[in-house]
Amino acid sequence: MSSLDGKVAIVTGAGRGLGRAEALNLAKEGARVVINDLGGNAEAEATAVSVVDEIKGFGGEAFAFFGDCADWNDSEALFKKTLDTWGDVNIMVNNAGFCRDRLIFNMTEDEFDSVVRVHLKGHFVNMRHATKYWREKCKADGAPVYGRLVSTSSEAFLFGSVGQPNYASAKAGIVAMTMGAAQVMYNYGVTANVICPRARTDMTNQAATAHMFVKPETGFDTFAPENVSPLVTYLASPDAGNVSGQVFVVWGKQVTVIDSPKEAARFESPEVWTPESMHSSLGEYFANKVPVRDGFSVIPTE
């Protein structure tokens, strides 16, 4: 039997790119998959339906659900439809998102709000409905459930990409929220982990770094979304039952586990701190350090 036989998975933004690759990989391992996408136009809906058809073509089960991943009511309806159809939800993969890149002194309020909404709130509403369902099921059954949360962040949360103050902030929030969910849900049988993928998607194709993700004419395609999906499937599997509260950077043939932040230095004062004593203690430490500049940047043209 496949490792995910009988399990039910929801993948947001699954009509194309990373979400599509993740949905296909989950389905190939036996999961029944809900292809969630925004819809709203014929082309987008046809793309999502094509993923459903592809899954059914190799003997899997899937259906498409169109709705806004960051809308409370749409998310609630998504879970209701899934439960009405298959009677359970086991895996929640939050993937959907978009970018509105601009330097902070040029960014509009809407460019900030819209990106934070789809990424951070989009993760929250689906995680909230999933965790509520799993908690109530655990209490009703008197036993741990099978629950897997997979969140999608970015290395931008580590480096604060200068052209993406909205995106980087949302991705940092996703990590923090997922770490909290991992702690509170583990005793219910639920794991929660974060992936930071490097892959060629609609988002990277529109960014200033698009040239980095060009598909090679020959040889291994380092940034193919299909290189990311096996990690998602693994984290969704029974084999990863003891993996929770982790952050992974994944791309090409490489997976890196990101450790928690560690202390770099500690300073203590025999007296109450003053600005002068702060400078006396910290000034020497920072004297030869260069401020972080453009550590991982996507710099738009305006």
Set 75, 151, 153, 154: catalytic member: 154
285 assigned to active site: no
234 assigned to active site: no
Sheet strand arrangement including 91-93: 62-66, 32-37, 8-12, 91-93, 147-152, 190-197, 247-251, 254-258
10: helix, strand or coil: strand
The sign of the torsion formed by the CA atoms of 61, 65, 69, 72 equals: negative
Q: What share of the chain is helix, strand, coil (3-state, %, to 5)?
A: 45, 15, 40
| Other residues' Cβ atoms within 10 Å of the Cβ of residue 230 | 15
Alpha helices in 163-293 (DSSP H): 165-185, 202-206, 229-235, 275-286
| Other residues' Cβ atoms within 10 Å of the Cβ of residue 189 | 17
Residue 84 to residue 82: CA distance in whole angstroms: 5
Residue 143 to residue 128: CA distance in whole angstroms: 20
> At residue 142, what is the residue type?
G
154 assigned to active site: yes
Set 167, 169, 229, 237: catalytic member: 167
Set 7, 121, 137, 171: catalytic member: 171
Nearest Cα neighbor of 47 from 33, 66, 61 is 66
Give the distance between the most distant pair of CA atoms in the chain. 72
E runs forming strands in 99-219? 147-152, 190-197
Nearest Cα neighbor of 149 from 129, 171, 170, 119 is 129
How many residues are recorded in the chain?
Answer: 302
Catalytic residue numbers?
154, 167, 171
